[in-house]
Structure 1
Amino acid sequence: MMQRLLVVGLGLMLAGAGAAQARQVTARVSADSVTVGERFRLTLLVDYPPTREPVFPDEAPAVVDSVSGKPRLGDLELLARLARGRRDLGDGLLRDSVVYEVTTFALDTAYVPPIPVGLATETDTLTVRSAPLEVYVASLVPPDAADVRDLAPIVDFPRPVWPWYLLGSVLLALLALFVYVRRRPHEVPPVVPARPEPVRSPYEEAQRRLRRLEALWPVVGEDGKAFYVELADVLRTYLERRLGVRALEETTRELVEELREAVVRGPLAPEVPDAVAAVLTLADLVKFADARPPAEQGRDALERVRVTLRVVEACVAVPADEPEGTEAVASAPAGPEPGKAGRLAGAAALLVGVGGGLLAWRAGGVWTALPFGLALACFVPMRRTMPLERRPLAGVLAVQVGLYAWLLAAYVRAPELVSAPWLVSADVLLALGGTAWLAFRPGPLPAYLLGLLHAGMLVWAFASGAGLLATPEGVVEVGLRLLAVLALVLGMRSLRPTSEAESIRPTPSRG
């Protein structure tokens, strides 16, 4: 009996040893020593019976890194599974192998506790573990290195020198401009005769053109559009010269409304606005709606224009103290600068000087607002010394000076924020030349070039993703450039030659 119990116990011990052997887990690393952050390999081998399925640590992680979200095995962090294989060992055993890429940030030694591997069936899971591991972590600091040093001081990068070259170029250009102004010969103003040569009165000129139009009727009548264009121009030119209205610029409706206001003020006859409306409406239909009225209607329109001219001449009386047959002497206007556009150009200059200065002062301090003070300093004396009809030009120039003085100061103060130094330098130098051109030779061409320069820089800034509207300085620049374009438009419009009706007094009728 005792021998039988001994045999049974020995059998159980051998079966337990076989089961333990079947559940053996082996862990190996590819290097005995590593450095901090170095990647190396961890291999797990597990032997198990076919009735179970192994569950490795990355499939059911027990510990996960809170920063990277990767599974952790002690001091090791699993980065990726590189390979997995299976082999039949015979005797009812299988072997699975898994290779991981791991790393560690431990100091001196990375400790790996027993690694658990689950052996699962449909009803339960048995966990087996490997033996613990230790991996030596070599230091990256040389043995003879001193203690950890403090942070090194911030190194100053050399500031770009291109803004100073640009500033020097601008100063040299201004010096050359000053020398040119001082040395150029002063133009002697022409001697204005006491009485200008007699000119043809508005009525005589209109009658002459009507006679010519009637004489060319056999030719012009074939092309109705040319006839009505000339007829409408004769009537509009006469009304502008005789009554001082802007007939050549206004639409038919605006002109008729202005004539009706003249009827209320007197002494224009009430039938004049309706007659003018009838002729110009017919001409507009021919010009824009491609109407084809009969030839007799064209002759009636020409005759109606003649009658309208005679009625207007009869309404406009000759002053009693002015001899008949004389013309008025052209005189310069006395009073405010001509036109609403000129006043708006001056307002734009004041807005740039005061409003832009306040915005710049709030964004960058007193020194940032100094260029706007320069703009006002240029605007006030220039406005007083210029002829009255050119005073709007002072506002235009002040806006340009304020804008580019502010931009130049910004480039010198913070050149590292400029992404295209060559482009902004060309912008400043071209604007300097255009402003000087506009100051000495006022005309549409330099104004157009300056406007295109502003528009091009705005398009480039928005297209390149410079984020102008994201900073106060960018908002100021966008606003200044838009005001500069507006001032150019208003200034050039106010410098347009005035109509003859504003510079001559009515002349008596001669027909």
Structure 2
Amino acid sequence: MYKQQVIRRILLSFFIGLLFPLGLLAQNTLEVTAKADSSSIRIGEQVKLHLKATVPAAVFNKPEFRLLLPIVPDSLDHFEVVTRSRVDTLTQQDMKVLQQTLTVTSFDSGHWEFPPQKFEVYGATGANSVDTLFSQPLGIDVNTVAVDTTKAFKPIKTVRAVPWNIWDYWLYIAIGAAVVLIALGLWLYFRKRPEKKPAEKLPLVTPYDLARQQLKSLKEEQLWQQGDIKQYYTRLTDILRTYFEHQFGIAALEQTSEELLKNIKPVTKLNQQRDKLRSLLAIADLAKFAKLQPTADEHEDCMTKAEEILEWTRPKEEPVAQTPGAPDEKPQTGA
């Protein structure tokens, strides 16, 4: 009895020792599968097809390892691929799982087999090793829709006219009304908009005419008669300096009296009036800066000298050019 128990234990240990390496081998093998959610569909329905590859982590982490999932064409015998998911990689204990889901359909009734799918494996057993694994074929029944033949066929219905409803076209009506209102508004705007009249050209005032007007205004204001001597001579000299600057291009407003007298030498007509200008500027500087009180005759004499300088340097008026061939205009006499 005791010997039989010993023999049984020895045999049991022997079988366990044989099965243990097989279990380790099974855990280290690479498996591929193709499964469908259903083995029976109606014509035109869709079914999910799951492609799956289970790889040991030790093999998956090899730098030379590479696994290619099956490339399923869009159209197979009796099957059409509708969509494809991206390839996902999952970790399950010491295994890596690569999977992809295909959505397929069929429009042919009958029992059809989805063909075995080819998985290509590179570098699983060596750097240059190439292996090919195939999944099992899948049988799928594609059933037609049951038709009750005992009932009579119904006639084809005629085409029905849909009743007209204004609210079905409200968007087009609103757009048309908006276009009409915008066009009407633009028409009224441009109709009432005042026409732009060309700007009237103002006559150009020459430096000489401007200076004459300013001297006339200065005389009419009677500043020196009212005791404002400094303002009188300041205005008088500024009128002349501005005239020199615009007429002869001399920076007279920024120069002292001596500098101004030196800079008028190149201007012949103005240099001819140099003595008058010197006398006028001398009295004006004394009145403005030294608080000199000139006599009434000196006031009048300075104004007269300013007017004489203007008249002497007055620019010549250019004759108006007559159009060739035009008849001379003669003044009309009354009858």
TM-score by length of 2: 0.37
Q: Hey, which of these two has a bigger chunk of strand by percent?
A: 2
Bigger Rg over Cα: 2
What TM-score does the superposition give when structure 1 sets the normalisation length? 0.27
Choose between structure 1 and 2: higher helix proportion: 1
